[in-house]
Chains A and B, each alone.
Chain A
Amino acid sequence: MTGIDPNKFVPEEIVNVVMELPFYPGLENGEAIASTALVNLASFFR
């Protein structure tokens, strides 16, 4: 369901949190679609 770009370096602890973070899916004309998103976990604190 959720994956991380293998070309980017992300510490293991961050990966573990990322893999457990639920997402609202992207929609196209009201339909859920496969999509990608660039998200920084630090946004949680803002």
Chain B
Amino acid sequence: MTNDAVFTDELVSQNKDKSIAMLITAEISSPVHIDDACIVGVATISTDESPEEQVLFFNRVGALGKKSRRIRIIKQGLPAEFKVRDVEIHVYRNGQELVSNQSSKQYSLTQDQVHEYLTIERVSRNRGKTIDPEPAWSLAPPELFASTKEREFDYPSLFMLMPTAR
């Protein structure tokens, strides 16, 4: 996913007295087919009354593929005068965030390195806790993201997991 100059903001005046909207545009593509993706974003704005205010926006973008698509999201109901400080965009599918070039964490690692990273993150976020293993669905293989046929994958499977050696 790309965002020209971090974000593109544009004020759309629909009613000079009341309604001001923010137009967010982005180029989005995926190396593998992804079905039913959504965009969730957070814009940080400032107004005369508030130095920092966060505005959420949401847009269903449907299927993604290798061909880049330009998406436009209009967030309405903003104050009459404001400045955009920052815009963060996240791509989700089934409630799981997908890694993109706008993500704070990006993976270009071997499988062992990914496992090591997940172990370190798990341990650092759960100090002293006892919890069960769980899949990192956001890093699932592309076959899962490309499919909408849940039944094809409906096999209870026993996994054996080993911790990363220290």
Contact = CB atoms under 8 A, between A and B. Distances in A.
Interface of A: 1-5, 8, 10-11, 13-14, 16-18, 20-46
B158 A40 contact: no
B158 A38 contact: yes
B13 interface: no
A10 B155 CA distance: 7
Given A1-B115, A46-B94, A27 B129 contact: yes
Given A8-B157, A33-B163, A23 B132 contact: no
Given A1-B162, A36-B160, A24 B141 contact: no
B161 A36 contact: yes
B105 interface: no
A18 B157 contact: yes
A4 B130 CA distance: 23
B49 interface: no
Q: Interface size bucket, B side?
A: 35 or more
Secondary structure dominating the interface of B: mixed
A27 B114 contact: no
Given A2-B159, A40-B154, A26 B139 contact: no
A27 B139 CA distance: 20
Contacts of A21: 135-136, 139-141
- Which 3 A-B residue pairings sit nearest by Cβ, starting from the closest? A32-B163, A5-B158, A41-B153
Nearest to B117: A22
A22 B135 contact: yes
Nearest to B141: A20
B157 A35 contact: no
